[in-house]
Each structure stands twice: as structure tokens, then as C-alpha cells.
Amino acid sequence: MSVPRFHVAADIGAGDVGREIGLPDAAAHHALRVLRLATGDALTVFTGAGGEFAATLVRADKRDAWVRLDAFSAVERESALAVTLVQGIPANDSMDFVVRRAVELGVAAVQPVVVARGARFPSDERGRKRLAHWRQIAVAACEQCGRNRVPAVHDVADLDAWIAVRATARPGIVLDPAASVGIGAMPAPAPSIDVLVGPEGGFASDELTRATRAGFTPVRMGPRILRTETASLAALAAIHALWGDFR
């Protein structure tokens, strides 16, 4: 059985080995009530800023858990190719799925964008809660997959506004079923690439035109029409197979 991992938003570093810290409430609940950890059990904690601590559960009560930081390892599991997934916001819970799997596949950041055929994004408290939910999903995905740096889930932006401030020298692809070339025809990007993916209804023709003018290369992902969550993850996997972690 693998050692469970917990994210702690604490200002701790290699010099804090030997110190005892309390787990956040949600982490303590998961450790004690879901995983049924007991005093003396081993676990791993990480802050999201890099590296991880081997730790031991030393004290626990009904709601709180304290761990001792036993050793620090500067191990990194980040991709050498920094991929930003620019995702047109889909409906329902598809964005939850995309964020979780994209983090597992090593994205450096997720940029949700509002597009013509995508889901509307509320600008009130509901929107703030939804964004916080996606960010927590990114944290949970890091706990599961072993990443020690939590990728950013950026504030939601309108697609045109995001394109306007994007660095034009940065390589980028936009998924388009009607594109004349497949993703494998792209030259190897380094050290970063933006991947622009539409929602369920795809991009409007004028959005594709503006993205292309801004430097994105339209590419297709085979002869079939993929669901947005399938297309996003297929593109990330293809990028790593061609130029990144899977080689």
C-alpha cells in the first residue's frame, strides 16, 4: 500500500525537519475518518512549492491530527515541457474531470476561458466558488499523482481578452477537426506550449480565425469528433508521447 499524501498550506522547508505541524481540517478528516490512520503511521506532506516531507502521525483526537516532519526530499515530478491547457468551459461537471486528469498529465497551468458555444460562467459568488472548487481539484490530483508543485488554475477570462495579453512568441495549438494537419506535424515546442480546446460545441469560426491570427496552429486529433474532455486529454497525452514525459 502506498503512503498517503497530504497537501498542507504551511510555510515550512527543509529546515523544519523534526517539527510537528497540524494537518488542515479536511486532510485530518480524510486521514482519520476515511483512511483510518493511527498514531505511528507514515504519510507524506507537501506544500505545493516543491519537495515533500516523509512524516509520521504522532497525535490525533476526534477532529485534529498532528504529524512530525521526519525528512525532506527535494524530489520533483514536473514535466520539462510546460503545457498550459486553455479550456473553453464545458457544461455540467466536465471541467472537474478535465482539471483532475490534466493535472495528472503534468500541465503547468489550466486557463479556463469563456467562448461563444461554451457554458456561461457566473460572475458572482457562484463563480468564485466554482473556481475555488477547480483549484481544490488540482490540489487533490497532486496528492494522488505525486506532484509536489500545484499547477495554477487561473482566473476565468474571455477568450479574446486572454489572447490579447498572451505572449505571441509562445508556441500554441488549437484543436480543430477540420484542420489540414495532425498534431504530429507540429515542430517540437520548447520549453512551453499552449493548448487551446473548445467546449462541447467547439469554437465558432471567428474564434478559430482570431486564434490562428494570434499564432495558434490548428491541428486535428484524428478523423473522429471527440468530446471536449476526451480531446483535451488526448492532446496532452499526444504532446507527451511526441515531445515530453512519455519518450
Residue 61 lies in a domain: yes
181 contacts 204 by C-beta, under 8 angstroms: no
* Residue 239 pLDDT: 97
Assess whether 60 and 119 both reside in one domain: no
CA distances from 106 to 145, 180, 218, 238 (A): 9, 28, 22, 12
Assess whether 134 and 93 both reside in one domain: yes
194 contacts 170 by C-beta, under 8 angstroms: yes
In 3D space, the residue among 91, 119, 85 whose CA is nearest the CA of residue 104 turns out to be 85
Residue 247 lies in a domain: no
Q: Which of helix, strand or coil describes residue 203?
A: coil
Assess whether 138 and 228 both reside in one domain: yes
What CATH number is given to the structural domain containing 177?
3.40.1280.10
At which of 15, 47, 73 does a domain end? 73
Other C-beta atoms within 10 Å of 221: how many? Answer: 20
At which of 73, 108, 127 does a domain end? 73
Assess whether 65 and 146 both reside in one domain: no
At which of 73, 97, 117 does a domain end? 73
* Residue 194 pLDDT: 97
What domain count does the chain have? 2
Q: What is the residue-level pLDDT of the chain in tens, covering all 247 positions?
A: 589 999 998 899 999 999 999 999 999 999 999 999 999 999 999 999 999 999 999 999 988 999 999 999 999 999 999 999 999 999 888 999 999 999 999 999 999 999 999 999 998 999 999 999 999 999 999 999 999 999 999 999 999 999 999 988 899 999 999 999 999 999 999 899 999 999 999 999 999 999 999 999 999 999 999 999 999 999 999 999 999 999 9
Domain, as residue range, for 20: 5-73
In 3D space, the residue among 138, 227, 154 whose CA is nearest the CA of residue 194 turns out to be 154
